[in-house]
Chains A and B, each alone.
Chain A
């Protein structure tokens, strides 16, 4: 689904990302881990064509992301709060995203209804604008918005950060279900090794912009990762 070749990003002579080859097949749940500055967000930003690659390219379903915009119709993402429109209510935000993805209000209402648990009664019908929600609740709204419209590729940057434990567990369940039942390609980055080994079939470790480990998740993966990051 996603294929990366010769991709690099250099800022003022410093290479922050350098991936020679990476293929993520359709339906895979893909985890990206690495310390701060490893290049996780840079990679996602390149995948979403928010920054320009210095060399190489990313293909999303055989579409060059920096040349065509067609990939946008089947790709959705939540990177940070700047993906939210602060002066909308969560419902309006969902309708807006839904409209861009060809879903009418009724579709969205049924879709959002499944996340009642996840929202924990703090998002819907609260008569609040997104800008007035807490960071954690903003994140919940953003993540759910990224699932609207049956996207084939979902990109979530640090989805577990800022969430309370209950919501983290619910989110893991949602991600697992998506990956299993619908054949959606999910890309997640996280600092939490436990969460990421739990929900991802494959984990790639970035360090200073380079891929240094590429693991199929198994019983020993968490131990291996912990050993790696313990130095």
Chain B
């Protein structure tokens, strides 16, 4: 049976248009993976000597174990946002003579061989080798490596439980963030010393390897909870047919003033409010707006004005980045309709532009209170907002013409594997870092005001040439029209 599943996986991956049409992106991902492997390997090797040098009085092994509490929390957070439960197209399998349990075991086992689970081993194994070399007891160290692997797997399965419990709500990330920050706060203010507890647990395994069985038991427990949760979802009516939602009707008469674009803007607004995927991007707006609070209150950053525009780009452009990266995939479900209806590409794209530009203006207005931390911040945010409207909107729309990945809006979040992947984040970087670099150069060669002026000028240039840029972008979309239609009508 597993042989069949593996064959299906292999074919699904290599026959998807995503793989075939974006080898470049895949290469980039492979490059990142290799990069992380090398970094972890080097880190594992260098950790012992570095710790010895920094803290000659402490046992490096103990120091590493003290750190594990933070690792668990950070790992959990990272996974929550990046890792989704791997999924097979289950519908065609349900009516075949395959045991439901073997489908589930396969899905769960597949999640265990994720890159994120192997990564810690790349650091743990060389570190353990150094430990043995330094004269630590071999049995204990080997048990420790196993422990690291087991804990990783526990985090892996714990994450899926958290995800499936919170997936139904819009603010799915809130409980986890609250929980981890609470744990962190308790630790930080010395109320409960979690890191010591975790460390003691780790050391007890090293001293007495049989204790590893406790973690094995925990792992089995987490696995069976996952199994139970999934088992309940493995029916056509629960995983495929979503609840009938109550219709929320809004008039949105104010969009009328945008003339020909009005129907599209209404459509986009409904798209955002009525579908789980895009709706969550609205809630990210709140996080984006508060992003500046991580930096500005700290005196360290107020000495570094070149970071202001970067935060400004993020704060005023969070919707632009979040929504824009999936243009036109948001409409992939009915792309054929749009392509055969009485509309021009330009109106369609313009309505997206207006929506993004309006969001930047609105977010800039909402971010005005940051002036409390200094007028320079307000100025930087203003420059960033103009740059966002003039330059980044166009970059986003242009980038969209390379979009070949369908988004299924109707998919429930629990089985949704089309989550924001690492790829989208990589694409987001030039949007935020390019203006920062431009500003930093101007800041250090001339002064702060000049840097802002350059950002504003670039943004204004983008607005002046808006018509020309849109013509160019539209032609790009027209060139790839047929490719998009065929990619969007594929299932994977």
Residues of A within 8 A of B (CB): 48-52, 69, 72-73, 75-77, 79, 82-89, 92, 96-97, 99-101, 127-129, 131-132, 149
Contacts and interface: CB of A to CB of B under 8 A. Distances in A.
B325 to A, nearest CB: 20
A89 to B, nearest CB: 6
B247 A82 contact: no
Contacts of B263: 96, 99-100
B344 A82 contact: no
Given A51-B486, A83-B334, A89-B247, A72 B343 contact: yes
Interface size class of B (residues with CB under 8 A): 20 to 34
Nearest to B478: A69
Interface of B: 242, 244-247, 249, 262-263, 266-267, 270-271, 274-275, 333-337, 339-344, 409-410, 482, 485-486, 489
B252 to A, nearest CB: 11
Contacts of A88: 267, 270
Contacts of A132: 242, 244-245
A82 B410 contact: no
Which 7 A-B pairs rank lowest in CB-CB distance, beginning with the nearest?
A87-B274, A83-B337, A99-B263, A48-B340, A127-B247, A132-B244, A72-B342
B249 A89 contact: yes
Contacts of B485: 50-51
Contacts, number: 82
Contacts of A69: 344
A202 B66 CA distance: 82
A85 B269 CA distance: 13
Nearest to A96: B263
Interface of A is mostly: loop
A99 B263 CA distance: 7
B259 to A, nearest CB: 11
B5 to A, nearest CB: 28
Given A79-B336, A128-B247, A129-B245, A85 B267 contact: yes
A51 B483 CA distance: 9
A79 B340 CA distance: 10
15 contacts: A52-B482, A72-B340, A72-B341, A75-B340, A76-B340, A82-B333, A87-B270, A89-B247, A96-B266, A96-B267, A100-B263, A127-B247, A128-B247, A129-B245, A129-B247
Nearest to B246: A127
Contacts of A76: 340-341
Contact of B340 (A50, A96, A101, A131): A50
Nearest to B337: A83
B244 A77 contact: no
Given A52-B482, A96-B267, A127-B247, A73 B274 contact: no
Given A50-B485, A86-B410, A96-B267, A129 B274 contact: yes
